[in-house]
Amino acid sequence: MRDKSILITGGSGSFGNAFVKAVLPLKPRRLVIYSRSEHLQEQMARAFDDPCLRFFVGDIRDCKRLEMAMYGVDIVIHAAALKIVPTCEYNPFEAVQTNIIGAENVCRAAMDTGVKKVVALSTDKAVCPLNLYGATKLAAEKILVAANNLSAGRTKFSVVRYGNVVGSRGSVVPLFKAQVAQKKMLTITDQRMTRFWITLDEAVNFVLTSLEMMKGREIFIPKIPSIRIMDLAEAIDPRGSHDIIGIRPGEKLHEVLLTEDESHLALESWDRFIINPDVSNNTRPGFNYASNTNTNFLSVEVLRKML
């Protein structure tokens, strides 16, 4: 990161704030925050107060604005997305405009301005998608990987795909904590539900290490623990008072980060899987990396300490 010019789309969100906190000590030349919220950008400017920070108000739907922001940029972290599942289900084309067409715009702007590396954030919901959010993120993954065919190595594109981020905006943890503060019962969709679990700091570190090792076309998947929704509820509210409201449209009981069909293209290392048709794979035949069959689950005690 030293002396590099870096742009992060959706940079005023939860991930963007954690990324800036981690990268500023590494002495980048310029760190560009590109997002739609001037209010959140102002909060970041006050919180970090660093001369290398630049703030661009803009939407990834606007390719020309992206090009203007990317001039002189070496690295792009693409974190902007519409990600709340019910919102995307109710406003489907808005999700398409941001998550799919926005991803295409990021690729085109990066190639046109000579960006060297682009890493896009994806989600376990892009695997065998059941909801529109997942479908748009799957399409975005395909767009990013395929962009390497157009750039001919001048700009390298890769993807990181991980699970639920602890405490990020729109996640269940702030909801549960708010319900506890209001002395309400926790609303749980299904008692059997499991999810992959990663902290913001772990997500940022995974992006940085993937950025370092990427050569283009890879989808990087971290080896992370799973949680049971009832364990999370107990960690936050030991009273055990909850209301089962039923699974929502587009919601899965369990999530998958690597399917059996993808595993024959995946290389396994000690801390991650790397999907890349250009490398030899070493995963077990028929391997499926799912939240409910994961060998690593966080206990109630560990969750309580984390939260």
Active site residues: 125
User: By three-state DSSP, how is residue 68 classified?
Assistant: helix
CA angle 289-295-297, nearest 5°? Answer: 105
Gyration radius of the chain's alpha carbons: 19
Mode of pairing for the β-strands spanning 53-57 and 75-78: unpaired
Cβ partners under 8 Å of residue 90, min gap 6: none
Distance in angstroms (rounded) separating the CA atoms of residues 142 and 217: 10
C-alpha 195 chain-centroid distance = 14
Q: Which amino acid is at 35?
A: S
Query: Residue 305: enclosing H or E segment and its boundaries?
Result: helix 300-306
Q: 24 and 52 in contact (C-beta within 8 Å)?
A: yes
Task: Kindly tell me the sign of the dihedral angle through the C-alpha atoms of 27, 30, 33, 34.
Answer: negative
CA angle 93-97-103, nearest 5°? Answer: 140
Ramachandran quadrant class, 63 (left: phi over 0; alpha: psi -120 to 50; beta: rest) = alpha
User: By three-state DSSP, how is residue 6 classified?
Assistant: strand
237 phi, psi to nearest 5 deg: -135, 90
